[in-house]
Structures are given as C-alpha cells and as structure tokens.
Amino acid sequence: MTASHNGKLFIETVGCQMNMLDSELVVGALRKQGYNLTDDIREADTVLFNTCSVREHAEHKIYSALGRLKFSKQARPNQVIGVLGCMAQKDQELVFQRAPHVDLVVGTGQLAEVPRLIDAARESRERSLAVSLDRKEGGRAAVSDSFQSYDPLREPEMRPTPHQAFVRIVIGCDKFCTYCVVPMTRGPEQSRPPRDIRHEVQVLADQGVKEVTLLGQTVNSYKHTQDGRLFRLSDLLEHIHDVDGILRLKFVTNFPKDMTDDLLQAVRDLPKCAQYLHVPLQSGCNEMLKRMKRGYTVEDYREMMSRIRTTLPNAAISSDFIVGFCGETEESHQKSLDLIRECRFKNSFIFKYSPRPGTKAFELHADDVPEEIKKHRNNEMLALQNQISAEDNAQFIGRDVEVLVEGPSRNELKRGDPTTTGPVQLTGRTTCDRIVVFDGNPRLAGSLAQIQIDDCTPTTLLGQIVTREVQHGSSSLLPILV
Ligand code: 5AD
Ligand code: SF4
C-alpha cells in the first residue's frame, strides 16, 4: 500500500488518443492517492511526460522540456521527474543518459506501476526503469505478457470532457509498416475480452458518458475468443450497442485490409455507430505502399472505398498520408494527390516522413527526399485537402444536422468568463465527425441538438440551434435553447 500524498502533479501528454487515455488513467490513479493537478510546472513536485515516438520532432520536444528542468531540479531536489510511454519503451536507458535528472522511465506496458515507482523514487532517490521486453527478446507469449494493458476503472472528473470517453480494445500492433515504431513501443497486438470492454462501457455510461470511442492502432483487427465464440469488431459493436445512456459509438484507427463487410454492415445496422471511418491510405503510389509494407495496393483501397460507399453512402472517410517517404518521386506524390481527389476524404492528417531508428525503412532505405521538398509536398497536399474539405462542408449550408454537444468552444474557454450565465459558443460533432460551432446554453453539453448550418470553414460548420414548433409543424430558429 502506497502512502497518501498531497503533492502537486504536472503532466504533459503528446501523441495520439491512446496516449491521452493512458494519461487519464495514470492521473486517475495518482489523484486517488491525493495528488492534485497543476498547470504550472514550476510548482509541481512530480512532473510526468507521456511521450510519443512516431516522429522525431515529438521526441525532440520532450528532450528539450527535460533539459529545461535540469536547473529547477537542482532548486527542488525532492522533485520527481518521470518519462512515460512510447519514448520510454523505445529509448530506455538512453533517457537517463540524455537527461540524468530523470527519476523514472516507464514504458507503455508498465503504467500501472507509476504510483509505486514515484513513491520509491522519492524515498530512495534511486532511478527506476520499467519497460517491456523488446520484440526479439522472447517468444510471442513472453513479449505479449510484458505489455500489460492498463485499464483500471476511472474517476469521471479525469476525462477530457465529461460526456466523451476512450475505451481501449486492442493494444499493440503486428502490421510492422516499415516506417513505424508502434509495433516496438506498444508491443504485440492483443485484443481485450468483450466482457471487460462491455463492463467498462457500462460503468462509463453510469457516470454520464454519452459517446465512447473504441481505440486500437488497428482497431478493426480486433479479435477475441470468449466462451468458445469469436468476436470480431462487428460482434463487439453489437455486444456493447445496447448499453443504456450511450448515444454514440466510434472506433479508430482502421487498417484498410481489415475493413470487412461484416464491419460495414454493423455500422449500417447499429444506429449508435458514427458514420465516420478513419482509414489511413498513407500513399497513392503502389511502389511506395509496397516499400511501406502496407499489405494493399491502390486498387485494393479503391475496392474498399467502393464497398464503403455502397454500404454506407453517407459515411465520411478520413485518411493519413506520409509525404517524402524514401524514394518518393514527384510522380508518386502526384499519385497521392490524385487519390485524394478521387476519394474526397473528409480530412487527412498529413505527415512528413521522419526516419525512426529500429524500423525497417531506417535500416534499408535512405531518407532521400530533401526537407524542402517534403515541406512543399506537405503544403501542396494540405491545400488540396483543405479545398476538398471546404467544398464538402459547403454542401451543408442551409441543411439541418444533428450534433452531440461537447461543450464550450475553444474560443469560449479562452475568453473564460466564469460569470457568464447566457448563451456561449458551443461545439459539437455530427455523426460524420464534422465539427459544428453554434451558440447555446452550456447545459446542452452531452445532449443531441439540431443545428441549421449557415456558414462554414474548411474545418468547421457554423450554425444555429433549431427548435421545432410542433403545433405549426414548422421549424423556427431560436438563438438560445434554455
Ligand atoms: N514518419 C512520418 N509519419 C509517420 N506516421 C507513422 N510513422 C511515421 C513516420 N516515421 C504517421 C502515419 C500514421 C500516423 C499516426 O502517423 O501516417 O498513420
Ligand atoms: Fe504503425 Fe502500421 Fe501498425 Fe499503424 S498499422 S501502428 S502505421 S505499424
């Protein structure tokens, strides 16, 4: 049993939704022990960084932040500094070498140990390293066992918004795309039991959660046999769909090859499923896809898109792209742009290739596209995608959409006037994951609202709440709904 602590905790999280979830869980555990969160790193006696290794830039940021802490640590010898997550698993001892004032390095598979290790560091002033086995350090079972999924039950106030929660269903990844560190930093692919997932969704619903996003690096590769029955993602969606209180179910990120018909049909037939699929293409050039070892061709992706469009004609599809991968020519780049024009993604996340030690691409291929060209291709792709997103959004002008209200918009939070009682600027999302901004009462957070769209930007729809006047059978616009 660890001692109760009432110190101040600062945590910085970079990277993907999986990291956001991990931070929420770690903070939840530490809060139970009496820690209080602070936004001010200078007053914290425990400083944690939950890190990302997908691109070098994300690692640089953390090492710079650690460098800045060197002097504050000299002034506060009792301070405990921890590096958690992907960079901890990947760099291990190297973190101590580059930043000797770090006390703990804890990988993605050991996060349950964080409270104990912080106490130990404070008591003994000894450093600790808690990481999982490298993928070649043992048999599959041993390596898998060393990556423990960390999913304790949580406190509602620890979530980013009270009505939305992430639920992990798959940890790790076995795809080994040649540019990617994730199979190393998050270990072998393992699916959690449907029973545990349903229980977690139920608890979250009882706590007021309305929208659950199921997480996995390749979420649609989910497979678990329970009581002799195989559950695929489609079966799991059905299994949790009737949990009372949940209004919307989403899942990210999908792997194109695993986008099977049963899953598309489940999304079509289960009304709570969001009509939104994030299915990264990465490149529109077959040579690049082969070199990335993605396991599909442009033709396969096209075939998948046509199946999605047939079964889910109103679904929005989003993608990820890497520009400037090893050997990418202008012609390959143009093929990616062509695919964006053809598929008309709702949005795309675009990344400049960042060579990662330990990956196959790093070992086998030169990072031969100059930074300037990567930047240029990145901007060109972004401009094209923005144009498509803007055209796409413009189609909604004059139409009504249903949104799940998330809460005050970022602008509103920046303004931050706690005395406001009237309408504020709110944000919500449509079932297709389109962001909608409108004025309304903050109490609407967590409910579904009808919004009439009257304007848009490439990323946002702007509108007003609609209320139906039943006696006249017509709609009228009201600026505020109380
Ligand atoms: N360089 C650039 N982008 C990368 N991604 C993954 N690895 C790299 C890398 N080495 C991108 C992929 C993935 C997203 C999460 O990050 O597009 O889908
Ligand atoms: Fe990385 Fe590929 Fe796995 Fe995605 S599917 S996490 S890109 S290895």
What are the tens digits of pLDDT across the range 264-286?
999 999 999 999 999 999 999 99
Ligand 2 centroid to residue 205 C-alpha, Å:
30
What are the CA-CA distances from residue 236 to residues 63, 219, 266, 270 (Å)?
Answer: 40, 11, 10, 11
Ligand 1 centroid to residue 181 C-alpha, Å:
9
Please work out whether the CB of residue 55 comes within 6 Å of at least one atom of ligand 1. Answer: yes
Q: What is the pLDDT of residue 473?
A: 45
Q: What is the pLDDT of residue 5?
A: 61
Q: What is the pLDDT of residue 149?
A: 79
Beta carbons within 8 Å of 160's beta carbon, 6+ residues apart: 20, 24
Ligand 1 centroid to residue 279 C-alpha, Å:
13
**pLDDT band with cut points at 50, 70 and 90 for residue 161:** confident
Question: Fold identical between 159-274 and 284-295+304-394?
Answer: yes
Q: Which CATH architecture has domain 159-274?
A: 2-Layer Sandwich (3.30)
Q: Which ligand ends up closest to the CA of 58? A: 1
Which atom of ligand 1 is found nearest the CA of 355?
A: 10
Q: What is the pLDDT of residue 482?
A: 32
Ligand 2 centroid to residue 247 C-alpha, Å:
29
Q: What is the pLDDT of residue 157?
A: 62
Asked if 109 and 138 touch (Cβ cutoff 8 Å), the reply is no
Count of residues for the chain? 482
> Could you read off the pLDDT of 228-259 as tens digits, one per residue?
999 999 999 999 999 999 999 999 999 999 99
The CATH class for the domain spanning 284-295+304-394 reads: alpha beta
**pLDDT band with cut points at 50, 70 and 90 for residue 481:** very low
The whole-model pTM stands at 0.93
For residue 294, the SS3 value is coil
Which atom of ligand 1 is found nearest the CA of 349?
A: 17
Ligand 1 centroid to residue 351 C-alpha, Å:
6
ω before 467 within 30° of 0 (cis)? Answer: no
Q: Taking CB atoms and a 6 Å cutoff, what residues make up the pocket around ligand 2?
A: 173, 175-177, 180, 182-183, 217-218, 255
- What average pLDDT does range 424-442 have in this prediction? 96
Per DSSP bridges, beta strands 104-106 and 435-440 are unpaired
Helix or strand run (H / E) with residue 407? strand 400-408
CATH number of 8-144: 3.40.50.12160
Let me know the angle formed at the C-alpha of 481 by 412 and 457, rounded to the nearest 5 degrees: 50
Please work out whether the CB of residue 82 comes within 6 Å of at least one atom of ligand 1. Answer: no
Place of tokens 């060393």: 146
Q: What is the pLDDT of residue 397?
A: 97
Strand ranges (E), 123-222: 128-130, 164-168, 170-171, 190-191, 211-215
Please work out whether the CB of residue 325 comes within 6 Å of at least one atom of ligand 1. Answer: no
**pLDDT, mean over the chain:** 92
Q: Which ligand ends up closest to the CA of 215? A: 2
Q: pLDDT > 70: what percent of the chain?
A: 93
pLDDT at position 478 over 60: no
Distance (Å, whole) CA 290 – CA 286: 6
Q: What is the pLDDT of residue 472?
A: 46
The fold adopted by the segment(s) 400-480 is OB fold (Dihydrolipoamide Acetyltransferase, E2P) (2.40.50)
- For the chain, give every domain's residue range: 8-144, 159-274, 284-295+304-394, 400-480
Estimate the crossing angle of helix 17-32 against helix 114-124, to 10 degrees.
60
**pLDDT band with cut points at 50, 70 and 90 for residue 468:** low
